[in-house]
A and B are shown apart, each in its own frame.
Chain A
Amino acid sequence: MGKERGRILVVDDEPEIVKTVGLRLKASGYEVLTAGDGIQATSIAMHDHPDVIILDIGMPAGDGHLVAKRLRDSGKSMIPIIFLTAHTSKEDYEKAFEEGVAKYITKPFRPEELLAAVEELMERCA
């Protein structure tokens, strides 16, 4: 395959989630960056310019809400964020949209749904 379709940052404190999501994305032709906590995620997002960020909410060092806020405050708000989380409460969901998060997908997720969301956001940015 030639050039990648886009660069996606996958952030989750569970390495196996990062691995499975990464596998899916790579199989669909995306370049994948990974981070295991919020601090790492913020730094990678700042320096490596991903097209889309797939972000967990519940993480020990800097949760997803905080990462989303930090990125927006630092002027990186253009990078669309997909929350991929085991938090299913309506409050989390509504908070995410107030924060300007583009998609909210709950675990366990359907790979088709995640890929469709990534694709849609890639198109929106193009």
Chain B
Amino acid sequence: MNAQKPLSILIVDDDPDHVFLARAALQRAPHWVVETAGTVAAAKEKLREAAYGAVVADFRLPDGEGLDLIDSVPPDTAVVVMTAQGNERVAVEAMQRGAYDYLIKDISFPELLPDVIQKALNRHRSRIEGARQQATVRKENRKLVQANQKLKELDAAKSEFLSTASHELRTPLTIIREFISIMRDGLAGPISDDQRECLDSALGNCDRLETLINDILDLQKIESGRLRIRRRRSDVSSLLRQCYHDFLPRFATRQQTLELDVDPSLPPALCDEDKIGQVLINLLGNANKYAPNGARVVLSAQTRGGRLVVSVEDDGPGIPAEDQVQVFEKFVQLNRQHGKGAKGTGLGLAIAKNIVELHEGDIWLQSTLGAGSTFYFTLPLFTEDRAVEALVRDRLLITEVSGAELTVTLVKIDPESAAATFADPEARRQTLEHLQSIATAQLRRREDEVFVADSETMLIIITESDASEGEAIAERVTRAVGETLGVRARLRQATVTVSSGIDPRDWIAAARERLSPVEVALAGERSA
């Protein structure tokens, strides 16, 4: 055994024979120093004067009970109680009151004593250690909870501040912009060409400030998880065509050419068109701003590796390799050094990156100094499964913040049971659309919606509601669908309450497994 600091053991017993036997027994353990006391009072006195590793006290003492000592023993001292044979009840009481062990004073007691003390010491030590660790964990935990709460408050305060600041900045900016604009348009008296040029420049910078306010708000929304995206089946080629036409005049003012190169058979993608439109505006806006006069810019899209790849290519000066990594970071504007006249906020690409990543896509840059730059981003192709998954995932991002519950209901229609309505593809499409609007009419919240899984003849209803409200909505929707399809329609339905932390695909799978037939109650017209 390694060298230990000697530990004092206090034996409290009024019987000199027992004390003698105990001393003798403990002498074999040289790392213990034995002290004795004959009464409760004497023991208390000793406990006040010195620290003991353990106290071994007889139950019956001249001036009281060994148990009386338990309350006077400091917490780092283990207590063992000795009782006469046949008095185990006392022993149990002693244990309940905090003693570590008990010892029956029979013939074998001197032999057992060292072992009992050692065990009591060990148990006591591990209990104290455990308590200390628990206290530490509790303390750390409390700190984390507090820190987390603090962060949440700070984040909310930051959002609140930014939104108020943006609102408060808009009013003076509007007044400045309008007075400049009134002067510039000659409504406050005639102006010279030089003056008009000055005022145009002032107007341009008002617009720049406005963009900056909008971008900061957007980025703040994205970073705090408050940006809502709603991914849908989307015809990206028409989105690109729209952007192309919107940008043509801006490119023309700098004698740049803008070309559109879109595969006519481009399959539909899964995206929020408003948000991806914003990405395109940022990328095309950059090409327009940073490529020189007379540059050629190509906007194109194709499928590659099962994804849709959109690119904006320019034949401008290019971006040096060492700068390429940081272009997607906030407030990084390379052209501050590399060119003149380019005016941006330095937030456009950071916003674009965030939006693309919310779409589970990638965004990157390929550029060679002197040979132009190409920005690429990808979007997932549309499939029903992905669309449903995205639907749930996008909504979870919102309910995570709001704390609301999300319920998903599946209503599967057996097309055979309503053959006429699903006879040909056109009738089928019309029926499903009709059912979608019937089901949508049963929803109360604007954000709630009905998705049609065409291939499965299934409606998927997503509502912000708790389980019981969700069930009620599911019932209303199912009844409305059933009534529309008629008495012979066979429907199966399932409802699950969804929470974040679990893959949306698992929820849908769970709901699918639970699909069970529903009776469409039509005043008893239908038998089971």
Contact = CB atoms under 8 A, between A and B. Distances in A.
B174 A108 contact: yes
A5 B170 CA distance: 30
A14 B171 contact: yes
B167 A111 contact: no
B477 to A, nearest CB: 23
A108 B170 contact: yes
A20 B179 contact: yes
Nearest to B188: A23
A24 B166 contact: no
Contacts of B188: 23
Among A14, A17, A108, the most chain B Cβ lie within 10 Å of the Cβ of A108
Interface in A56-79: 58
B106 to A, nearest CB: 82
B173 interface: yes
Interface stretch (A33-41, A43-51, A86-94, A116-124): A86-94
Nearest to A21: B178
Interface in B504-524: none
A107 interface: yes
Interface string B165-191: 011101101110111011001011000
Given A20-B175, A27-B187, A108-B206, A58 B170 contact: no
Given A86-B171, A87-B167, A108-B210, A20 B217 contact: no
B166 to A, nearest CB: 7
Nearest to A13: B171
B208 to A, nearest CB: 11
B174 A86 contact: yes
Most buried by A among B166, B167, B173, B174: B174
A86 B170 contact: yes
Contact of A23 (B166, B168, B173, B182): B182
Interface string B197-210: 00000000010001
B182 A17 contact: no
B89 interface: no
Nearest to A87: B167
B5 interface: no
Contacts of A88: 166-167, 170, 214, 217
Contacts of B446: 94
A95 to B, nearest CB: 10
A107 B187 contact: no
B165 to A, nearest CB: 11
A107 B171 contact: yes
B296 to A, nearest CB: 30
A23 B178 CA distance: 10
Interface string A1-32: 00000000000001011001101100100000
A103 B491 CA distance: 44
A89 B166 CA distance: 11
B187 A108 contact: no
B171 A23 contact: no
A14 B178 contact: no
Contacts of B175: 14, 16-17, 20
Given A14-B175, A108-B206, A20 B182 contact: yes
Nearest to B206: A108
Contacts of A89: 163
A56 to B, nearest CB: 9
B167 A86 contact: yes
A23 B174 contact: no
B170 A107 contact: yes
Contacts of A107: 170-171, 173-174
Contacts of A23: 182, 187-188
A94 B446 CA distance: 10
A40 to B, nearest CB: 19
Nearest to B187: A27
Interface in B226-284: 228
Contacts of A24: 178, 182, 187
A113 to B, nearest CB: 12
B202 to A, nearest CB: 13
B167 A108 contact: no
Contacts of B171: 14, 17, 86, 107
A111 B181 contact: yes
A26 to B, nearest CB: 9
Nearest to A56: B171
B187 A17 contact: no
B167 A58 contact: yes
Interface in A80-102: 86-90, 94
Nearest to A28: B187
Contacts of B206: 108
Contacts of B181: 111
20 contacts: A16-B179, A21-B178, A23-B187, A24-B187, A27-B185, A27-B187, A86-B168, A86-B174, A88-B166, A88-B167, A88-B170, A90-B228, A94-B446, A106-B170, A108-B170, A108-B173, A108-B177, A108-B206, A108-B210, A111-B181
Given A14-B171, A17-B174, A24-B187, 4 more contacts: A58-B167, A86-B170, A88-B166, A111-B181
Interface of B: 163, 166-168, 170-171, 173-175, 177-179, 181-182, 185, 187-188, 206, 210, 214, 217, 228, 446
What 7 A-B pairs come out closest when comparing CB atoms?
Answer: A20-B178, A86-B170, A107-B174, A108-B174, A16-B175, A107-B170, A108-B177
